[in-house]
Amino acid sequence: MLTAAETLAMSVTDRPVTGDAESRAWLRALRSADEHTREEAVARLHALLLRAARFEVRRRAAGARHVAGPQLDDLAQQSADDALVAVLAKLDRYRGASRFTTWVYKFALLEAGVKMRRRAWQDREVALEPAGWPVLADPGPSPSRDALMGELLAAVADAIAGELTAHQRAVLVAITINGVPIDVLAERMGTTRGALYKTLHDARRRLRACLAARGLDPDLDHRGSSE
């Protein structure tokens, strides 16, 4: 009798890989017993990852003007190298739900995106105290703001100040008010993107609950994106 963990593990690793012929060919080559075939496939895979990393670095270069061209290519090379390690380590997790090339692209884009965000912020201080409060310092009604919006902003400011933990407040303010990229914040706080997003998610749920308790509608969709 298999344990639940063994059954789960089998469901992940022993399912046959479906997908297109090209993707199956990639897997065969990367798992080949023939060293030459395997090394040639790894080299092609690295070239593919480097193309994706360079694409991402170019996309983000406008936001990182202080990073010179050679540094950008170094970042792309590092991203491709790190993505190659990640892809080869997780090869058994590819199940053919997308093309193999699409699956590997996301590893290179993630590595390049994180590196570019961190490089853009490497000389900038990340304020973990509520230095961003001036953004909501005057959340009440004003001549250019309707009464409901003023009431919502005031209620949110109250809830941020009084209902969140210090950690939730620091994460919420840094990401949503001060615009600190979540990967940069994760690096400074010694945690992960996923863990920080969980904190942000919990803080947002708490804010929504506080608004609802005051009879305010936190669902802003009806105000429309067409405004």
Partner 1 sequence: MSDDRDDLRRLRGLLGPAGPELTCEACFDELDRYVELELAGADAEAAVPGMGAHLEGCPACHEDHASLRALLEDDGPPRDR
Query: Which positions touch partner 1 (CB under 8 A)?
Result: 20-22, 52, 55-56, 59, 97-99, 101-103, 105-106, 109-110, 113, 117, 135-136, 142, 144-146, 149, 152-153, 156, 160, 172, 175-177, 181-183, 193-194, 197-198, 200-201, 204, 207-208, 211, 218-221, 223, 227
CB of 223 vs partner 1, minimal distance in Å: 6
The nearer residue to partner 1, 42 or 55, going by C-beta atoms, is 55
Q: Which stretches of 138-192 are DSSP H helices?
A: 147-162, 166-172, 182-189
CB of 155 vs partner 1, minimal distance in Å: 10
The nearer residue to partner 1, 33 or 62, going by C-beta atoms, is 62
Residue 91 CB burial class (10 angstroms; 0-12, 13-18, ≥19)? middle
CB of 18 vs partner 1, minimal distance in Å: 12
The nearer residue to partner 1, 38 or 99, going by C-beta atoms, is 99
Cβ pair 77, 115 in contact under 8 A: no
For the chain, give me the number of helices (H) and strands (E)? 9, 0
The nearer residue to partner 1, 9 or 34, going by C-beta atoms, is 9
* Secondary element (H or E) of residue 38: helix 35-60
Place of tokens 């992940």: 12
CB of 81 vs partner 1, minimal distance in Å: 19
CA distance 106 to 87: 10
